[in-house]
Amino acid sequence: MGSTSPESDVELHTDEALLDPYPRYKTLRKQGAAVWLTQYNMFALSRYKDVREALGSPKIFSSSKGIALNDRVNEALSGPHSGGTLCSDAPRHDILRKIIEKPLTPKALAQLRERITTEAEKHVEKLVAKKSFDVATELSQHLPVTIVSELVGLPEEGRERMLDWAPASFDCFGPINQRMKTALPVLEGMTKYVSQQCVLGKLKQGGWAAMLWEAVDRGEIDPEDCLHLMNDYLVPSLDTTIFATTSAIWLFAKHPEQWDIVRKNPSLIPQAINEAVRLESPIQGFSRVVTQDHEIEGVTLPKGSRALVLYASANRDEQKWDNPEEFNVHNDARGHMGFGFGDHQCVGNNLARLEMRALLAALAKRVKRFELGTVERGLNNMLRGIAKCEVTVH
């Protein structure tokens, strides 16, 4: 399989590769449109054009056999009622997505805007008064943990554990390495918790999770679908946003001239968020299964083969972006793949943007400079982000 394509034995999930994946992506982009990864037994799509085309063609690049990089997890995500929105194709996907997106539409979020903005202002005021703090834990976690986890509405113990479950789930989506093996029992704990605790009577009334059961009552989904759909709120709603927020502040700390631009003109904040997510995409890539023989630039991807779709590489493709390695808030990065594209484009992106905008706007009013202290990356099979980012603010 893949014998006519360029081949690579690159490993993308060692500590070293996770710390600096970008040179590896660059080599893959140079090698070809579709490169056979001998260490993964799948193709890599690393160029912007091909990533966008694959994500825009869900009938050919299917999610319903899982989007992970190992068979064990993909099999678990492939049952008729498994996998939730992330791991399904139309028509099931469209039914599930309509249910999951109800509290996340711009109209629904308009009701949350004031609460999020007020909370961001209050929290930033407190941190700025402290002068020195860890962006990763003290700043970026606050809104996802206090507001989003409450809106999801799990029983108390679950709310506390969401921050363990999300990164473990993303680790399990990776290849079978030590990180994946360590995370597997945590994921199993989450699955057990969901089946025992995420039931009516235990969930917060009116919360997003409880709303899924209302869809069961209306006959739109089966109870089994409902349990899997819980994962769509539990797994991608916290760490993605936390990592994106920390990366944005880290970039501004490293590029004070960009922070000056935003402070003078806060209307550039939405554009700056796109630019930060482009440059430091929290989700680096997911896989798809090819449903029919499909040719990309002379390489045939056979029916049934798997392709790793590298959003983060597309976001630094020199064929698409001028100066792709540069952080520039004047860049129009709207077409980036950091929130995906097409049918599976991130359903929570408006919420993530709202949270990030509120924090950056509150900081822009109060902080002239971020002085970086200790910075440590958090290593995860599928996520890129910083686990510790100490700053002193001036």
287 touching ligand HEM, by CB under 6 A = no
- With binding defined as CB under 6 A, does residue 274 bind ligand HEM? no
Of residues 86, 50, 60, 61, the one with CA closest to residue 310: 50
Of 139, 248, 351, 367, the residue at the interface with ligand HEM (CB under 6 A) is 351
Q: Report how many residues bind ligand HEM under the rule CB under 6 A.
A: 29
Q: How far is the CB of 338 from ligand HEM (least distance, A)?
A: 5
Q: How far apart are the C-alpha atoms of 295 and 313, rounded to whole Å?
A: 20
Under 8 Å between Cβ of 328 and 273: no
Choose between 220 and 260: whose C-beta lies nearer to ligand HEM: 220
Which residue is nearest to ligand HEM, using beta carbons?
Answer: 348
Q: What x-and-dash track marks residues 109-148 binding ligand HEM by CB under 6 A? A: ----------------------------------------
Q: For the window 57-96, what string marks contact with ligand HEM as x by the rule CB under 6 A?
A: ------x---x-----------------xx----------
Contact 149, 118 (CB under 8 A): no
In DSSP notation, 163-197 reads HHHHHHHHHHTS-SSHHHHHHHHHHHHHHHHHHHH
Residue from 8, 241, 315, 380 in contact with ligand HEM (CB under 6 A):
241
CB of residue 1 vs ligand HEM: minimum separation in angstroms? 23
214 CB contacts (<8 Å, ≥6 apart)? none
Which phi and psi (to 5°) does residue 299 adopt? -105, 125
3-state secondary structure of 373: strand
Find the Cα–Cα–Cα–Cα dihedral 76, 81, 86, 88, rounded to 10°: 110
Candidate residues 61, 133, 193, 311; the one interacting with ligand HEM per rule CB under 6 A:
311
Can residue 237 be called a binding residue for ligand HEM (CB under 6 A)?
yes
Are 271 and 389 in contact, with CB atoms under 8 Å apart? no
**For the chain, how many helices (H) and strands (E)?**
17, 11
283 in contact with ligand HEM (CB under 6 A): yes
Interaction site with ligand HEM (CB under 6 A): 55, 63, 67, 85-86, 97, 100, 104, 232, 236-237, 240-241, 244, 277, 282-283, 286, 311, 338-340, 344, 346-349, 351-352
